[in-house]
Amino acid sequence: MNRLYNDVGNLLDDKFKIAYNLTYYTLAGRTQVDTSRFRRAIWNYVQCLFGIRHDDYDYGEVNQ
CA–CA dist 44, 52 (Å, integer):
8
Per-10-residue mean pLDDT, the chain, length 64: 74 77 75 80 80 79 67
Question: Residue 64's pLDDT is what?
Answer: 63
Which residue from 54, 36, 34 is spatially nearest to 44, judged by alpha carbons? Answer: 54
Q: What is the largest CA-CA distance in the chain?
A: 43
Q: Give pTM, 2 decimals.
A: 0.53
